[in-house]
Chain A
Amino acid sequence: MKETIRIASGQGFWGDLPEAPFQQVTKGPVDYLVMDYLAEVTMSILQKQKRRDPSMGYAKDLVPLMERILPIIVEKKIGVITNGGGVNPASCRDAIFKVAKKLGIKEIAIGLVMGDDILERLDGFIAGGIPFANMETGEPVASVRPNLMSANVYFGAAPIAEALRQGAQIVITGRTTDTGLTLAPMMFEFNWSETDWDKLAAGTVAGHILECGAQSTGGNFSGDWESVPDLAHVGFPIAEAYPHGDIVITKHENTGGVVSEATVKEQLLYEIGDPRSYITPDVVADFTTIRLEQSGKDRVRVFGVKGRQAPESYKVSMSHLDGYTAFGTLTYAWPDAMKKARKADEILRTRLADLALQFDEIRSEFLGYNSCHGPLSEPVEPSNEVVLRIGVRSRDRDAVERFGREIAPLILTGPPAVTGFAGGRPRPSEVIAYWPALMPRSMVTPQVHVKRLQ
C-alpha cells in the first residue's frame, strides 16, 4: 500500500481555468487528477445536445484537454477521474480512445460509471409508486413530467473505486457527486471498506475542499483578499491523503495563491446546509468534527472527521423547462445618471403595460448601485454613470421576445446620454428549473465497464 497519495483538482466547474489541469500534472508530483464538470442544470443542456447528435452529450472540452495531457499521464501513471461523461460517458471514452490512437499511445484502460441516467426509466418508476417529490416544495413530479429534460441519480465514490480496481487509469462518469471523485482513489489505494464511516467522511471532506478548484487556495477569498499572492498563477488544490484518514490540503510549489486555515474554512462552509449532516451516497460527514491545523507553508492538515452511514435513498437531480427569460441593459451617463436610468425604467414598464404582455416577473436593477446588495446598499447614488438592467420572465415566449424589441428604442425615445447597447436585441432563453428528489437505492445499480485500448 502506498504511504500517501496526492489528488489534484483540475476544474472546479465546466469552464474553469483551462490551464489548471495541465499545470496540475506538470508542476509537481500527483497521483490523480480529478475534474468536476457538472453543475445542477448541466445535464439538461447535455441531454439536448445528445438529442441533436447521439454521439454528443458529454463535456466536449475534455477531449482536447486529454489530447494535451494523455502523453504526460501515461508516462507518469497519473489517474484521471471526471464526471465529464455527462449523459454519454461511452461516447466520451471513444473520443478519448481516438485521440490516444492518434498520439500513438499503445495501451490505456478507461473505465465508465453509468446507470445514473434514469430519464427513460422514469415513467416505470413513477408507475411503481415513486413520487419523486421536490425536496424543496414537496410537490410530486407528475406536475412537471411533460417538461422534464433530464433525470440523473447521484452516485458516489464506490463505483469509481471499483473501476480503478478493475484496472482503469481514466474513469469517466455521468452524474457522480463532486466529492466522490476525490474519495474514490483513497478507497481504492488504501482498501478502505464501504462501512469505514470516519475515513469515508475524511475523504468526502477532502472532496468538498477540492470540488471548487481554487476557491480553497485563495480564489474568491473574502478574508484579506489583497494579501493573496499572484492569483494570476494560482495553484489549484491538492489533497495529500494518508491511509488512516488524515488529509493535508496543499498546492504545487512555485504557484500563486495561498493555502491557510482561513482559505480552507471558507470553502468548507461553501454551499452546505446542516453541517452535522453533509449527506453523500457514500457517507454522512459531520462537519462539526473537522479539525484544521496549519502544518507548514501552504499546508493545512485536516483531521478528526467523523462520519456515519449514508441514507437508504439516492438523490435524483432532475430538470424541467419552466418558461423563458430575457435581459436588457442600457448605460446612462452624467449628469443625473440615476434619475435618467429610473426614468427609462418607468417608460419601458409603461410601454410593456400598454402592450398587455403577461410576465411572471419584471425586475429592474441598477448595476453600480444596488444589483448586489439590494435594499442593503448605501443610499449614495452613483453620479458618473449607471447601468440599468431589466429582466423579464414568462411562460409566454412571445411576450419575452417582444420585451427584447422594446429595449433599443429607448435610445432614441428616452432620456439622453445613453449608450451600451452593442450586443443586439435581447433574445428569450429557456429557463431550466432544477428538481431535486429522492428514490430508493435498491432500484438503481451503478454500471461499471472497463475497456482497454490495445
Chain B
Amino acid sequence: MRVRLLDIAHARSGDKGDTANIGLIARKPEYYPLLLRHVTAERVKEHFRGICEGTVERYELENLSALNFLLHESLGGGGTKTLRNDAQGKTLSSALLRMVIDVDEIRR
C-alpha cells in the first residue's frame, strides 16, 4: 500500500546558514515505525534532488515520535545570500510531506 507522508505526519522546517532542518512528526505514535523504516536519509536525499546539494543527516526522537533531518547546502547559500523566494526553507516541510512511501501494512 502506498501512503503519502502528509496523511500520517506533520512537519516544520527552518534554517541554520545554508542547512535546512525538517522535523517530521508522526500524527499517531503507531505511525512512527513507518517513518523510521521508510523515510531514511538516503530516501530524503533522493526526494530533494535539485534542491539539496549536500548530504542529508537523520536523527531519531522516539520520545516525540519524530525524526529530524538536516539538509546541507539546500538554501542557495543561506538566509541572506540566497535568491530564493523561500529564503529560509520554510516550505521544505510541506515538500517532504509530498513523499509517497510503500508500506506493507498500516493500522488506521
User: Residue on A with the closest CB to B50?
Assistant: A375
Q: B87-99 interface mask toward A, CB cutoff 8 Å, 1 = contact, 0 = none? A: 0000101110110
User: Residue on A with the closest CB to B88?
Assistant: A271
Q: Is A357 among interface residues, defined by CB-CB distance under 8 A?
A: no
Most buried by A among B48, B70, B83: B83
Known: A272-B23, A373-B98, A393-B83. A222 touches B64 (CB 8 A): no
The answer, among B64, B76, B80, for a CB contact under 8 Å with A265, is B64
Give CA–CA (A431, B11) in the complex, Å. 30
Give CA–CA (A232, B94) in the complex, Å. 23
User: Residue on B with the closest CB to A362?
Assistant: B83
Give CA–CA (A71, B49) in the complex, Å. 55
- With a cutoff of 8 Å between Cβ atoms, the chain B residues found around residue A272 in the complex are 21, 23, 68
Among A116-124, A161-169, A286-294, the stretch in contact with B: A286-294
Give CA–CA (A373, B20) in the complex, Å. 13
Known: A222-B93, A365-B85, A389-B85. A434 touches B80 (CB 8 A): yes
- With a cutoff of 8 Å between Cβ atoms, the chain A residues found around residue B61 in the complex are 269, 275, 287-288
- With a cutoff of 8 Å between Cβ atoms, the chain A residues found around residue B66 in the complex are 265, 269
Q: Give the B interface residue count (CB, 8 A).
A: 44
Q: Is A423 among interface residues, defined by CB-CB distance under 8 A?
A: no
A348: min CB distance to chain B, Å:
14
* Interface size class, chain A: 35 or more
The answer, among B15, B62, B65, for a CB contact under 8 Å with A271, is B15
- With a cutoff of 8 Å between Cβ atoms, the chain B residues found around residue A373 in the complex are 91, 94-95, 98
Q: Is A266 among interface residues, defined by CB-CB distance under 8 A?
A: yes
- Tell me whether A265 and B49 are in contact (CB under 8 A): no
- Tell me whether A288 and B12 are in contact (CB under 8 A): no
- Tell me whether B14 and A371 are in contact (CB under 8 A): no
Q: A258-289 interface mask toward B, CB cutoff 8 Å, 1 = contact, 0 = none? A: 00001001111111111110000000000111
- Tell me whether A371 and B84 are in contact (CB under 8 A): yes
B20: min CB distance to chain A, Å:
10
- With a cutoff of 8 Å between Cβ atoms, the chain A residues found around residue B70 in the complex are 273
Known: A222-B93, A262-B25, A374-B51. A269 touches B84 (CB 8 A): no
Known: A222-B12, A271-B14, A432-B80. A266 touches B51 (CB 8 A): no
Most buried by A among B12, B19, B81: B12
Give CA–CA (A367, B59) in the complex, Å. 33
- With a cutoff of 8 Å between Cβ atoms, the chain A residues found around residue B80 in the complex are 41, 322, 431-434
Within 8 A of B (CB), among A347-381: 361-363, 365, 367, 371-376
Most buried by B among A323, A373, A389, A391: A373
User: Residue on B with the closest CB to A269?
Assistant: B23
User: Residue on A with the closest CB to B94?
Assistant: A222
Within 8 A of B (CB), among A314-360: 322-323, 325, 327
Q: B28-66 interface mask toward A, CB cutoff 8 Å, 1 = contact, 0 = none? A: 000000000000000000011111000000011111111
Give CA–CA (A291, B62) in the complex, Å. 10
- Tell me whether A269 and B64 are in contact (CB under 8 A): yes
Within 8 A of B (CB), among A401-442: 431-434, 436
Known: A40-B79, A392-B83. A376 touches B25 (CB 8 A): no
- Tell me whether B85 and A136 are in contact (CB under 8 A): no
Q: Is A191 among interface residues, defined by CB-CB distance under 8 A?
A: no
Give CA–CA (A40, B23) in the complex, Å. 21
Most buried by B among A273, A274, A322, A362: A273
Using a CB–CB cutoff of 8 Å, the interface residues on chain A facing chain B are 40-41, 136, 215, 220-223, 262, 265-276, 287-292, 322-323, 325, 327, 361-363, 365, 367, 371-376, 389, 391-393, 431-434, 436
Q: 13 other contacts beyond A41-B79, A265-B66, with CB at 8 A cut-off?
A: A222-B10, A222-B97, A262-B10, A266-B12, A269-B68, A273-B70, A325-B83, A363-B76, A363-B84, A365-B84, A376-B98, A391-B83, A433-B78
Q: What are the nearest 10 A-B pairs in CB distance? A: A269-B23, A391-B83, A375-B50, A363-B83, A371-B85, A271-B14, A372-B91, A223-B10, A266-B12, A222-B10
Return 28 A-B CB contacts under 8 Å, by A number. Answer: A136-B19, A222-B11, A223-B25, A265-B25, A266-B10, A268-B64, A269-B23, A269-B68, A270-B23, A271-B15, A272-B23, A272-B68, A275-B68, A288-B60, A289-B63, A292-B64, A361-B77, A371-B84, A371-B85, A374-B51, A376-B47, A376-B51, A391-B84, A392-B83, A393-B81, A393-B83, A433-B78, A434-B79
